Amino acid sequence: MPWCVRKCPYCDFNSHQLKSARPDGTYIHALLRDFERELPRIGQRRIDSVFFGGGTPSLFTPEDFAHFLTSIRRRADLAEDAEITMEANPGTIERGAFAGYRQAGVNRVSLGAQTFNARLLERLGRIHSAEETERAVEELRSARIENFNLDLMYALPEQTLDEACSDVRAACALNPTHLSYYQLTLEAGTVFHSRPPPLPDEDTAWRMQNAGQLLLAQAGFEQYEVSAYARYGARCRHNLNYWSFGDYVGIGAGAHGKVSRSVAPDMTGGLQVLRTLKPKQPKEYQEHAARGAALAVGECNAVAARDLPFEFMLNALRLNEGFDQQLFEQRTGLPMSSVLPRLHEAQTRGLLEPRPGGWRPTELGRRFLNDLQAAFLA
C-alpha cells in the first residue's frame, strides 16, 4: 500500500507522497485482480498470514480492509487463525479506527514509533509526536488489539546513548508484544543519502545496540532475529516465514513474492523457486492489473539452482536459531552436502556453529553477518 502523507528523508521503501487526503479505494480492486492472477501459483495451499505493509496502510479505511479480506477469503483458503498484520503510522490514526480494522480481520498491528524524542521526530520528518504514538497504543488497547509491534530506530542524527536508551524504555513502557529495533541506515536515493546528517560514530551505534539489547532482555523481550525482539509466543509468524525461506505472494505496487513449485527432478532437485516483482509505480501497477485476466501482473523469474544456497542463507542466518538441515533441503531442493565445505569454512572462521539438527550463527557471526552470508555466494 504505497502511499504516505509525507516521504520521510531516510526511507527507501516504495512509498509515494499522497496528493489527496486518502488513497483512492479503487486500488483495492487492483489488489484483488492481482491476487486472482496469483491463484494458480498458490494452488491448494493454505494462507497462514497476511501482512499489509507500505507505505502507510493505515491511510486506507477499515472498509477497504474488510472488502479485501472478505474477497480473498472467498477465493482462497485463509486459515481461521491467520496472523493478519497492518502497519500503521501513529500520525494517521483517527479515534476508533482500530476497532474498524479489527472488525475487518486485522489482529496484529505494527506501529512506526521510531523515537519518542521530539527533536529527533522532527529531524526524521515524522508527522506525529510521541504523545500521538502513546495515543495510538491506547486506541489499540481499546480495540482489544493486544498483539502489536513498535518500530524503533537508533543511531539517529546527533542522538546520544542516553537518548537511545530512553527510547527503548519508553517503548517497553507501552508494553508491546514485539519490538523491531533498527539501526538507521543511509539508503541510496533518499534525502539523507544525498545530504547526510551527522550520525553517531560506529562505536556509539554499537553501544546503542548492546544497551538496547540489554534493556529489552531485562523487559522480557527475546531477540530472535537481527532486529526483532518478542515476548514469549509473540514472534511474527509472517516475518518468520520470510526468514525461513518460505513461500509468499506479493500483491501491490512494488511487491516482491517468492513461490516454489515442483518440477521434473534434474539439476534443480525437483524444485523451482520463482521470484515475482510487481511494477513499482502505483499508476503503472493499476494499469497492469486492469489488463486481460490471463496476464500475470509484473515480472516472474526463476532463481538459478547455484544461487539458492546464498538466497536461503541470506534469510535463515538472520535468525539467532539459524536453521535445520531438513529445512535447507526442503526449501532449496539441494542436499546439505552441497554446502558442507562452506559451512565448515564459516565454522573455522568462528562465524557459524553446529547445533542439534542444524546450524546457527555465533555471536561473531551475528556481528559480521554480511561476511557470513557472503560465504555462500555462488
Ligand X SMILES: C[S@@+](CC[C@H](N)C(=O)[O-])C[C@H]1O[C@@H](n2cnc3c(N)ncnc32)[C@H](O)[C@@H]1O
x-marked contacts with ligand X along 41-70 as a string, rule CB under 6 A: ------------xx-x--------------
Taking the least distance from each CB to ligand X, the nearer of 10 and 224 is: 10
Please, what is the minimum distance in Å from the beta carbon of residue 378 to ligand SF4? 32
Taking the least distance from each CB to ligand SF4, the nearer of 97 and 336 is: 97
The answer to whether residue 15 forms part of the interface with ligand SF4 (CB under 6 A) is yes
Contact with ligand X (CB under 6 A) among 114, 115, 159, 244:
114
245 Cβ contact partners less than 8 Å away, ≥ 6 residues apart: 258, 311, 312, 315, 316, 327, 331, 332
| Cross-strand partners of 149 | 110, 178
| Three-class SS state of 18 | coil
Contact with ligand SF4 (CB under 6 A) among 34, 37, 50, 54:
54
Name the residue number minimizing CB distance to ligand X: 112
The answer to whether residue 252 forms part of the interface with ligand SF4 (CB under 6 A) is no
Give which of ligand SF4, ligand X, none residue 305 binds (C-beta under 5 to 8 Å, depending on kind).
none
Q: Are 5 and 91 in contact (CB under 8 A)?
A: yes
User: Of all helices (H) and strands (E), which one includes residue 361?
Assistant: strand 358-361
The answer to whether residue 182 forms part of the interface with ligand SF4 (CB under 6 A) is no
Strand ranges across the sheet with 299-302: 256-262, 271-277, 299-302
56 Cβ contact partners less than 8 Å away, ≥ 6 residues apart: 1, 3, 4, 5, 15, 87, 88, 89, 92
Taking the least distance from each CB to ligand SF4, the nearer of 112 and 333 is: 112
Distance CA 320, CA 227 (A): 10
The answer to whether residue 184 forms part of the interface with ligand X (CB under 6 A) is yes
Name the one range near ligand SF4 by CB under 6 A: 11-19, 197-205, 329-337, 354-362.
11-19
Residue 36: all three cell numbers together: 486472482
The answer to whether residue 132 forms part of the interface with ligand X (CB under 6 A) is no
- CB count in 10 Å sphere of residue 344: 12
The DSSP annotation for 43-78 comes to TTPEEEEEEE-SS-GGGS-HHHHHHHHHHHHHHSEE
Distance CA 376, CA 351 (A): 12
State the amino acid at position 175 in one-letter form: N
Contact with ligand SF4 (CB under 6 A) among 11, 30, 130, 164:
11
The answer to whether residue 120 forms part of the interface with ligand X (CB under 6 A) is no
- Residues 174, 18, 38, 74, Cα dihedral to 10°: 70
Q: What is the DSSP letter of 246?
A: -
The answer to whether residue 112 forms part of the interface with ligand SF4 (CB under 6 A) is yes
The answer to whether residue 209 forms part of the interface with ligand X (CB under 6 A) is no
State the amino acid at position 374 in one-letter form: A
The answer to whether residue 13 forms part of the interface with ligand SF4 (CB under 6 A) is yes
Q: Are 275 and 303 in contact (CB under 8 A)?
A: yes
Taking the least distance from each CB to ligand X, the nearer of 10 and 328 is: 10
Give which of ligand X, ligand SF4, none residue 7 binds (C-beta under 5 to 8 Å, depending on kind).
ligand SF4
Contact with ligand X (CB under 6 A) among 38, 87, 139, 163:
87
Contact with ligand SF4 (CB under 6 A) among 1, 8, 143, 372:
8
Q: Are 369 and 317 in contact (CB under 8 A)?
A: yes
x-marked contacts with ligand X along 301-340 as a string, rule CB under 6 A: ----------------------------------------
Distance CA 273, CA 131 (A): 45
The answer to whether residue 13 forms part of the interface with ligand X (CB under 6 A) is yes
**Sites of contact with ligand SF4 (CB under 6 A):** 4, 7-8, 11, 13, 15, 54-56, 89, 112
**Sites of contact with ligand X (CB under 6 A):** 10-11, 13, 53-54, 56, 87, 89, 112, 114, 151, 153, 182, 184-185, 187
